[in-house]
Amino acid sequence: MEDFDDHQKWVDSIVAPAWDHAGPENRIGYVIYPSGPAVQRYAAMNTTPSQLFGNFGSAQPHKTGQHTFSKHGQVTLGDQDDWANRLGREILGSFYNQLSQCNLDLNLDVNDLLQHISFKRNQDGVSIPLKTLPYHPVQDADHIAFYRGYYQHYREQCLSLHIHIDRKAYARLRDTMREQDATAAAQSIYNLAERRSLAATLTSTADVEIEEVISRKLVAGKVQFIYSENKRDTDNRAHDSGLFYRKTT
């Protein structure tokens, strides 16, 4: 089991250089969406097509067309070496755990078993044995339990700050926000630039002098101003701009 002081020194050696380059910020947030089945192991994964052996081995029709890591995971799992070793460890973990659940002992070390499993390298066809486990499930049991405790503590910290919004809640909030935006848009008054002369917006060629803007309102999405004017044309004709109503003095 790793000594706590040694572990803290290792952590400090990583954090200190980053701390020295940090700015004035004193908070940091991570947006992480780990795979639950892969990390928490609360559900099975499509490692291979159904083999009709082991747990729930019946071939369900809806699963026959689904992708599996053995057939379609050559890219998602890394290069060929990563793909082979990840699948080999997944199969070994399933095999080892099922033996344990059945109170059956394996008279062969798991690393020796991995070394007897190989894959042929694509570029030259050379047979390459799988790598041994970085941590032995029996010999390093205390070490594994120690770091599982770290992970559990980190997960609890994340859950304490997590704001869960599922798809239904997201859709409900989205629709509410859209309704609020639509209501606000319907109630808003378009603010034409006050700096621009109102007379400049008139399409009529008549000589109009605006004295005072009395009020304004929104009608059918258009702003209408009520204003008083002095008309220098002798026949007192109405000016139809399409946007303005006027009160002639």
Q: What is the pLDDT of residues 119-138, one digit of tens each?
A: 999 999 999 999 999 999 88
The tokens of 224 are what?
């209408």
Mean pLDDT of 170-178: 85
Question: What is the end-to-end Cα distance of the chain in Å, rounded?
Answer: 95
> ∠ CA 189-192-193 to the nearest 5 degrees?
140
Mean pLDDT of 180-193: 60
Least confident of 6-15, 50-59, 114-123, 217-226: 217-226
Q: Which residue has the higher pLDDT, 224 or 209?
A: 224
- Cα 7 from Cα 14, distance rounded (Å): 11
The pTM of the whole model exceeds 0.75:
no
pLDDT in tens, 88-122: 999 998 898 899 899 999 899 999 999 999 999 99
Which pLDDT belongs to residue 242? 39
- Cα 113 from Cα 93, distance rounded (Å): 12
Q: Which residue has the higher pLDDT, 220 or 116?
A: 116
Which pLDDT belongs to residue 173? 83
